[in-house]
Amino acid sequence: MAPMKLRQFDLHAHSTASDGSLTPTQLIQRAHAAGVGTIALTDHDTLEGLNEAAQAARALGIGFVPGVEVSVTWNGITVHIVGLGVDPHSDVLERGLAGLREFRDWRAAEIGRRLDAAGIDGAFAGARALSNGRLISRTHFARFLVDNGHARDLRAVFRKYLVHGKPGHVSGRWAELGDAVRWIRAAGGQAVIAHPARYPMTRSKLRRLLGEFVDAGGEGIEVVSGSHGRDDYFSMAHLAREFGLLASAGSDYHGPEHPWIELGRLPELPPGCNAIWEEWPISH
């Protein structure tokens, strides 16, 4: 892995390669301007933005970690596994992600058919146009629906159309947990459970997930996440210690029109965490 810079680490962010609204170059520039010392690009199920981001980071002298956020289905629940320090040219990882993107393509058409049946025309074409020929996420459907007046904002549109029990919902059939970890490790990366406090599961089920994750070779957990509250930082730090997991921190930034999180504003890890970056080479 390339040498890391000290100062703030933000190890979870998206670009137009998946459902972010900034290009990889724009994302890196904004992170740099916000005072982030090291940023990871972790697009959903694709490595497409990594070369561009690495180049932009080199030009600005900001630390860069090539990453990915792999969609997983575990016990019927969608769980996200971030890979940090992955080789952007790994065949094993790329093949695994290609399978997930095939499911995404089918799912996007299916979401479109279901919204059609609910009286909303043109959602698939609209989401596809917003994705600029790259993978289609529910976020693209959400943007189309907001632009066309079907809901007030992104949060409202998910609640109304895109989650379980709503007209545009299609169940995930993503990677197996063990496969996602294996692909990341085969690409030389470290596997990290993304936003663990956000999953719709009891604490005992989350413990079961963490146990299986560790057994599969998972190494880290996002203790600080843009989608965590203050209390979550402390409870996730506790779980990290209990399971011997390294602590990560990431904003899950998607762009300036997702106003609930901005780059460069992440709090420190709570005391007692072993930061995942502590074992990384440092440049001064």
The 3-state secondary structure of 113-147, one letter per residue: HHHHHCCCCCHHHHHHHHCCCCCCCHHHHHHHHHH
Residue 120 near residue 150 (C-beta atoms within 8 A)? yes
Q: Could you tell me which stretch among 83-91, 122-130, 154-162, 208-216 binds ligand AMP (CB under 6 A)?
A: 154-162
Q: Among residues 158, 252, 266, 280, which is the contact residue for Mn ion, using CB under 5 A?
A: 252
Looking at residue 196, the DSSP 8-state letter turns out to be G
Q: Tell me how far, at minimum, the Cβ of 14 lies from Mn ion, in Å.
A: 5
Q: Among residues 80, 134, 185, 258, which is the contact residue for Mn ion, using CB under 5 A?
A: 80
Q: Binding partner of residue 158 among ligand AMP, Mn ion, none, CB under 5 to 8 Å per kind?
A: ligand AMP
Sheet strand arrangement including 77-84: 9-10, 38-41, 63-74, 77-84, 190-193, 220-225, 246-250
d(CA 24, CA 32): 12
Q: Which amino acid is at 28?
A: I
Q: Could you tell me which stretch among 104-112, 160-168, 194-202, 241-249 binds Mn ion (CB under 5 A)?
A: 194-202
Residue 175 near residue 97 (C-beta atoms within 8 A)? no
Q: What is the largest CA-CA distance in the chain?
A: 58
Q: Among residues 71, 131, 225, 248, which is the contact residue for ligand AMP, using CB under 6 A?
A: 71
Q: Could you tell me which stretch among 113-121, 200-208, 245-253, 259-267 binds Mn ion (CB under 5 A)?
A: 245-253
Kindly tell me which of 156 and 214 has the beta carbon lying closer to ligand AMP: 156
Between strands 4-5 and 282-283, the pairing is parallel
Task: Give Cβ neighbours of residue 41 (< 8 Å, ≥ 6 apart).
Answer: 13, 14, 15, 17, 24, 27, 28, 49, 50, 53, 64, 65, 66, 67
**Binding mask 131-150 vs ligand AMP (x if CB under 6 A, - otherwise)?**
------xxx-----------
Q: Among residues 64, 144, 158, 161, which is the contact residue for ligand AMP, using CB under 6 A?
A: 158
Provide the 3-class DSSP secondary structure of residue 40: strand
**Binding mask 235-274 vs ligand AMP (x if CB under 6 A, - otherwise)?**
-------------------x--------------------
**Binding mask 12-51 vs ligand AMP (x if CB under 6 A, - otherwise)?**
-------x------------------------x-------
Q: Which amino acid is at 89?
A: H
Residues near Mn ion (CB under 5 A) are 19, 69, 80, 194, 252
Residues near ligand AMP (CB under 6 A) are 19, 44, 71, 137-139, 154-155, 158, 254
